């Protein structure tokens, strides 16, 4: 009797396993946004915008732009006025995992 349901059970198990893997898949196949470290502050805004468009993680941002202070939502910062693109206030995605935008201030 159970032999009759065995193919269905195998199919169900394969589907559940496939759904579980597909939930993890975007993180596994996501190309890294990290690049060679850019010394100093941001002067090439088109290159910086292209980097942000790749939705880097905060760690990738810090390794790619080590001299730019990254301020994440909820972090405190001083209020001095900077005109040299040395401090970036990031906007994160809904999972709070990737940088999707922001502004220099």
Give the CA count within 13 Å in the CB-facing half-sphere of 51.
21
Contact 71, 88 (CB under 8 A): yes
Tokens of 92: 């994160």
Q: How many CB atoms lie within 10 A of CB 103?
A: 10
Write down the residue that tokens 């065995």 correspond to.
6
The pLDDT of residue 4: 62
Q: How far is CA 12 from the centre of its chain?
A: 33
Q: What is the pTM of this model?
A: 0.70
Q: What is the secondary structure of 73-92 as a DSSP string? A: TT---------SS-EEEEEE
Tell me the per-residue pLDDT of 34-92, one tens digit each, with 9 for 90 and over: 789 999 999 999 999 999 999 999 999 999 999 999 999 999 999 898 999 999 999 99
Higher pLDDT: 68 or 30? It is 68
Phi, psi of 64 (to 5 degrees): -85, -35
């Amino acid at each position: 009797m159970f032999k009759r349901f065995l193919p269905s059970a195998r199919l169900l198990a394969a589907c559940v396993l496939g759904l579980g893997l597909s939930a993890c898949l975007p993180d596994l196949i996501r190309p890294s946004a990290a690049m060679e470290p850019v010394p100093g502050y941001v002067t090439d805004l088109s290159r910086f915008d292209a980097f942000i468009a790749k939705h880097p993680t905060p760690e990738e941002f810090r390794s790619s732009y080590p001299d730019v202070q990254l301020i994440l939502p909820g972090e405190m910062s001083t209020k001095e006025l900077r005109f040299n693109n040395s401090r970036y206030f990031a906007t994160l995605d809904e999972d709070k995992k990737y940088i999707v935008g922001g502004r220099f201030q």
